[in-house]
Amino acid sequence: MDDATESQASTAVEKEKFPWQQLGVLALCRLSEPIAFTSILAYNYVFVKDLRHTEANAAFYAGLLVSAFALAEASTAMLWGTISDKYGRKPIVLSGLAGVALSSLIFGVATDYWVALAARVLGGLLNGNVSVMQTMVAEMVKDPKHEPRAYSMIPFMWYFGSIVGSSMGGLLAIPATTWSGLKGSVFDAYPYLLPNLVAAVYIVFSITIGMIYLKETNEDVIARKHKDKVVSDERTPLMGEVTRPSIEIAREDEQKTVTRRVSMASIQPLTAGTTVDIRRLSNMTTTSSIRPSLAPQLVPENALEDSTIIEAPATENRWNRSMILFIAQLALMSYHSMAFGSLMPVYLLDEPSKGISDTALDLHGGLGYTVRDVGGFMSINGFVAMFVQGVIFGPLVERLGVWQTFVLLTVLAPLSYVFPPFLTMIPHAKAPIGIYANLSIQNFFTIVLYPCVLIMLKDATPSMTMLGQVNGLAMAACSAARTVAPPFVGWIYGLAGSAAGWWSIGIAALFAAGLILVMKRPLQARD
């Protein structure tokens, strides 16, 4: 085997590898948001009562504080996705992280409810990371067999971040009451600053790592930068010829190795609507591997004269019914999972109804735990989520297939919202067993469903060139659902009691299950 063949084989093997390094850097960046977001859930209910100096409608205002970020994020998510299509994914991700850091610091020093609300809105407006990061995952992973593992990375980091964030919120909020040495300090004056400050420091660390190690994945942006570099090199009078970098042109069922020394004088652009029959190219000394995603690259003019130009059918960037339905499923899933996540801390902190015995069914009150207890519950819940994501998800999807897994768990998901009111019938000393069981069931459904729907949305998208826009719309829909869920379910909780709040979430999950009746598996879906 000659050197050119060995180089080509090495390149092919390298491209089949799972992109651990880049996904790892992206995961560090992704971890920032859940740390900042979930750290407030453990103390949000108490925070609202402290700032408003009243318990009236505290559940509603706590939910509004949670949803403000999502509302602002929904209004700009598609815009950030479109901007990332044009200018690149990396700058959008890093600027989004900076927005979350700024929001966290303002929130931590807020002494007025509306200032805290404005901080949450600011963070959402500046952050479009979820859809952009999801697009980056799709662009990093070239081998379909790696998709389930790669697509589960973002929700995995969310749940890992929820462990850190929940623990941080429960342990670091109001620190002067725990550590007497902090009395009279800035953390006594601003009792909710410490967890937000720690979150901001980590975000700055993530931005630094991202600036150094995160690579751009938008191939159009990469191609433009490379073209600009080539044009710049042409202006160098002493440069007679250059060796072209490795480029891949993948044909449908074959890949040929071609070599050529390219003269700068012979370089001409190849239009995006054509492909080249490279079997007729010869006498080349530079190894090149060319794939269609880089079709608008530069090739030798004299090579085109001897080659057969085959017109490739233009891919239609057209929205279809399947894409809309999968986005609707993501929105419904975001609604009921966010409603659960925001209502559970309130339910755990709320006092039981007066006059109700320890083992009676309480349809109106809560369970009466402390902020520190809630932080512990949510931290353990994060570990359970990581176990489901890391151990159960892959084998389950591999065995059942993406579509079958999606259908089965969507139908069963409403069950996790039926049980919480019945936790009041368990003696207080044993109630944590029921709480962890309920959290684990809901975790299992949500964690497995989310990447399954994302994979099928990608398969339903007709062109990778519109993936940023599609993920942006999906993010906007999910953010809108997450915006509505906390205040709405909090309003129902305050108006009609805890059971009504929980069962209203179950109705939304039932609607998602019913939507399956009008859905079809994407043609590209792999089972």
CATH code of the domain containing 438: 1.20.1250.20
Task: Tell whether 242 is covered by a domain.
Answer: no
Task: Tell whether 525 is covered by a domain.
Answer: no
Task: Tell whether 170 is covered by a domain.
Answer: yes
The string over 196-235, giving b where at least 16 C-beta atoms fall within 10 Å of a residue's C-beta and e elsewhere, is bbbbbebbeebbeebeeebeebbbebebeeeeeebeeeee
Task: Tell whether 189 is covered by a domain.
Answer: yes
Amino acid at 383: F
Distances (CA, A) of 156 to 24, 149, 356, 374: 12, 10, 39, 21
3-class secondary structure, 73: helix
d(CA 256, CA 269): 21
151 near 454, Cβ under 8 Å?
yes
Q: Of 2, 380, 326, 3, which Cα lies nearest the Cα of 159? A: 380
267 near 240, Cβ under 8 Å?
no
Rounded to 10 deg, the angle between the 129-140 and 467-496 helix axes is 140
Altogether, the residues listed in the chain come to a count of 527
255 near 426, Cβ under 8 Å?
no
**Residue holding tokens 């993406």?**
402
The confidence score (pLDDT) of residue 207 equals: 94
Task: Tell whether 305 is covered by a domain.
Answer: no
pLDDT average per 10 residues of sequence, the chain (527 residues): 49 64 89 83 84 77 81 79 87 91 92 91 82 83 77 74 80 83 86 92 94 89 74 51 42 40 37 36 36 44 43 57 89 91 87 78 85 80 78 84 91 92 88 90 87 85 76 81 86 89 93 90 60
3-class secondary structure, 276: strand
- Residue 151 in tokens: 């697509």
Q: For residue 413, what are the contacts with CB-CB under 8 A and spacing of at least 6? A: 336, 445, 446, 449, 509, 512, 513
d(CA 330, CA 519): 13
d(CA 241, CA 478): 52
d(CA 19, CA 124): 29
Q: Domain total for the chain?
A: 1
Residue 433 domain boundaries: 3-11+19-218+318-518
- Residue 104 in tokens: 């966290």
- Residue 279 in tokens: 């079997």
d(CA 406, CA 332): 14
Task: Tell whether 257 is covered by a domain.
Answer: no
The confidence score (pLDDT) of residue 235 equals: 54
Rounded to 10 deg, the angle between the 393-400 and 402-412 helix axes is 110
Task: Tell whether 271 is covered by a domain.
Answer: no
441 near 416, Cβ under 8 Å?
yes
**Beta strand extents in 107-185 (DSSP E only):** none
203 near 101, Cβ under 8 Å?
yes
> In terms of C-beta density within 10 A (0-12 exposed, 13-18 middle, 19 or more buried), how is residue 464 classed?
middle
Please state the separation of Cα 198 from the chain's center in Å: 22
Task: Tell whether 164 is covered by a domain.
Answer: yes
What is the enclosing helix (H) or strand (E) of 267? strand 267-269
Q: For residue 423, what are the contacts with CB-CB under 8 A and spacing of at least 6? A: 367, 431, 434, 435, 438
- Residue 373 in tokens: 């207890």
